[in-house]
């Protein structure tokens, strides 16, 4: 062990004492010694800092990250490493369904974490069995397959739809109709399903088997259905596409078309599901029942967990060996999923989401009236809302951050509001006040040339 090795009294691994140095004069050397690197690490751990100004990140630069780092959260509030508090109306992009540090989720995590994290799907997993049974009891589905993410859930849903036609003697029916503006994930298959050119560029030929049509255009769907069409895949509310809501009558028409043509209807409820819209799943808003549904995000409350659900008929091709996952449905993830359902399925919870969502939407409508030069339209259902903007969405998100409020940019120049489902009147009132301030700060300034001219005349 060399002279810079860790000591039992200093868990940092550096043989120096913790202090409170002033970082104002910190200038990293071109190649600091190991001891200097340790000292710098300790300095950074005890003071607020701008990460990009001090080090070069080893993370692949696939994200344009805001210059914020959070170290803890409670309810709908996040605290940065600098000690600033932010009201989170982005919810980790609809993931933090129960907010941060929810006591029931923390208890489930620590209890199961102290027992068993992972075994593999070669063995029975009671926690997964229980969660699957609870999901089938409250939905249309007969079967559930657990994954780690929404993209994996969509991959499984796509495979299930194609395998259904294969085992039904129609292997040629592998093509799936999807919609412009959709987002289904970042795998090579799901970017092909979404069809967004910016996500497809540079990754070789687009995966075969997907045909995009305009969102909301029933006649375009009818024209696109052909002998090789096997399914229609749609988000009941497009999230990344800009909180674009599929009208109930449109979804009913798609269901009728699928029934008439022998197609499967697949819903992507990765973002809309688990209470986000004021219903457990968004398909309940229209009464249109899919054959297959993909979920994720909110079901884990922040822990990686997804699933696809299917009827017995649609899932008949998914027999032993047809699909698999190493981590999906492990004891820890599904214990937390069960804890999420404990809360979401409790009497009155979904009613609360619907009520507080209405309150927020009404407040946003009033905000749009006051700031018509900034906000063009309010969209969405429940606590999945969007502001269609007349100013650049990234500028608006930055203005909101300046007011210590987090919102999520989306397509169609829309700012998404996806707060934890546990927010109350106080958080809604505070968010509206901060959005009002953001609108005032970013509103286009009226021309003053006329008044100036009048003063000079």
CATH number at residue 183: 3.40.640.10
Among the candidates 344, 374, 392, a domain finishes at 344
Whether 450 is in a domain gets the answer no
Same domain, 282 and 172: yes
Same domain, 229 and 377: no
Whether 455 is in a domain gets the answer no
Same domain, 174 and 316: yes
Kindly report the length of the chain. 457
Same domain, 186 and 308: yes
Same domain, 37 and 127: no
Three-state SS for the chain is CCCCCCECCECCCCCCCCCCCCHHHCCCCCCCCHHHHHHHHHHHHHCCCCHHHHCCCCCCCCCCCCCCCEEEEEECEEEECCCCEEEECCHHHHCCCCCECCHHHHHHHHHHHCCCCCCCCCCCCHHHHHHHHHHHHCCCCCEEEEECCHHHHHHHHHHHHHHHHHHCCCCCCCEEEEECCCCCCCCHHHHHHHCCHHHHCCCCCCCCCEEEECCCCHHHHHHHCCCCEEEEEECCEECCCCCEECCHHHHHHHHHHHHHHCCEEEEECCCCCCCCCCCCCCHHHHCCCCCEEEECHHHHCCCCCEEEEECCCCCCCCCCCCCCCCCCCCHHHHHHHHHHHHHHCCCCHHHHHHHHHHHHHHHHHHHHHHCCCCEEEEEEECCEEEEEECCCHHHHHHHHHHCCEECEEECCCEEEECCCCCCCHHHHHHHHHHHHHHHHHHCCCCCCHHHHHHHHC
Whether 383 is in a domain gets the answer yes
Among the candidates 65, 80, 111, a domain finishes at 65
Same domain, 245 and 309: yes
d(CA 259, CA 125) in angstroms, rounded, equals 36
Whether 447 is in a domain gets the answer no
Same domain, 87 and 133: no
d(CA 150, CA 271) in angstroms, rounded, equals 9
Report pLDDT for 24. 32
Whether 300 is in a domain gets the answer yes
Same domain, 391 and 272: no
Q: Position of tokens 């069960």?
A: 338
Closest Cα partner for 237 from 84, 139, 357, 330?
357
Whether 358 is in a domain gets the answer yes
Q: Cβ neighbours of residue 417 under 8 Å, at least 6 residues apart? A: 89, 90, 360, 364, 380, 383, 385, 386, 387, 407, 408, 431
Strands in 77-80's sheet, in edge-to-edge order, are 70-74, 77-80, 85-88, 405-406
The pTM is what?
Answer: 0.86
Could you tell me the residue range of the domain that residue 22 belongs to?
1-65
- What distances in angstroms separate CA 4 from CA 27, 34, 53, one per listed residue? 22, 8, 26
Q: Position of tokens 């933090």?
A: 96
Whether 267 is in a domain gets the answer yes
Number of domains in the chain: 3
Same domain, 319 and 360: no
Same domain, 214 and 244: yes
Report pLDDT for 55. 52
Same domain, 281 and 294: yes
Q: Cβ neighbours of residue 84 under 8 Å, at least 6 residues apart? A: 404
Degrees (nearest 5) of the Cα angle 211, 212, 213? 125
What are the 10-residue block averages of pLDDT along the chain, 457 residues in total? 36 32 32 39 40 68 93 98 97 97 98 96 96 98 98 98 98 98 97 96 96 98 98 98 98 98 98 98 98 98 98 98 95 98 98 98 98 98 98 98 98 98 98 98 69 40
Report pLDDT for 447. 54
Whether 457 is in a domain gets the answer no
Among the candidates 344, 366, 393, a domain finishes at 344
d(CA 71, CA 230) in angstroms, rounded, equals 46
Closest Cα partner for 113 from 324, 423, 336?
336
Same domain, 164 and 313: yes
Q: What angle do the packed helices 331-344 and 126-137 form, to 10 degrees?
A: 30
Q: What's 352's domain CATH number? A: 3.90.1150.10
Q: Cβ neighbours of residue 50 under 8 Å, at least 6 residues apart? A: 67
């Amino acid at each position: 062990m060399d002279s810079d090795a860790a000591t039992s009294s200093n868990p940092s691994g550096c043989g120096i004492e913790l202090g409170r140095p002033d970082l104002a004069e910190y200038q990293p050397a071109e190649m600091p010694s190991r001891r200097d690197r340790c000292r710098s690490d300790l300095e950074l751990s005890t003071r607020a800092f701008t990460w990009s100004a001090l080090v070069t990140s080893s993370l692949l630069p696939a994200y344009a990250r805001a210059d914020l780092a959070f170290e803890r959260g409670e309810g709908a509030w996040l605290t940065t490493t600098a000690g600033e508090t932010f009201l989170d109306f982005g919810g980790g992009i609809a993931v933090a369904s129960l907010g941060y540090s929810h006591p029931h989720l923390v208890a489930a995590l620590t209890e199961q974490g102290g027992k068993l994290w992972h075994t593999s799907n070669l063995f029975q997993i009671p926690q997964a069995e229980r969660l699957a049974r609870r999901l089938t009891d409250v939905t249309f589905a007969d079967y559930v397959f657990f994954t780690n993410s929404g993209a994996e859930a969509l991959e499984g849903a796509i495979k299930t739809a194609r395998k259904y036609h294969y085992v039904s003697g129609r292997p040629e029916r592998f093509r799936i109709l999807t919609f412009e503006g959709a987002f289904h994930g970042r795998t090579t298959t799901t970017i092909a399903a979404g069809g967004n050119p910016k996500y497809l560029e540079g990754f070789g030929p687009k995966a075969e088997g997907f045909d995009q049509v305009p969102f909301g255009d029933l006649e375009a769907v009818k024209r696109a259905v052909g002998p090789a069409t096997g399914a229609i895949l749609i988000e009941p509310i497009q999230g990344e596409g800009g909180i674009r809501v599929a009208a109930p009558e449109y979804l009913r028409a798609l269901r009728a078309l699928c029934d008439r043509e022998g197609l499967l209807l697949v819903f992507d409820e990765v973002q809309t599901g688990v209470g986000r819209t004021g219903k457990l799943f968004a398909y309940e808003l229209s009464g249109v029942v899919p054959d297959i549904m993909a979920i994720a995000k909110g079901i884990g409350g922040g822990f990686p967990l997804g699933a696809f659900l299917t009827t017995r008929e649609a899932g008949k091709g998914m027999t032993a060996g047809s699909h698999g996952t190493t981590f999906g449905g492990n004891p820890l993830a599904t214990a937390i999923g069960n804890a999420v359902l404990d809360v979401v399925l409790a009497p009155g919870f979904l009613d609360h989401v619907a009520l507080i969502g209405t309150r927020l939407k009404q407040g946003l409508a009033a905000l749009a009236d006051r700031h018509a030069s900034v906000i063009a339209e309010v969209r969405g259902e429940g606590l999945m809302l969007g502001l269609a903007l007349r100013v650049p969405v990234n500028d608006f998100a930055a203005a909101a951050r300046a007011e210590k409020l987090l919102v999520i940019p989306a397509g169609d120049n829309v700012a998404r509001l996806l707060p934890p489902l546990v927010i109350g009147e106080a958080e809604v009132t505070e968010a509206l006040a901060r959005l009002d301030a953001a609108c005032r700060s970013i509103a286009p300034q009226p021309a003053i040339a006329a008044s100036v001219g009048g003063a000079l005349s």
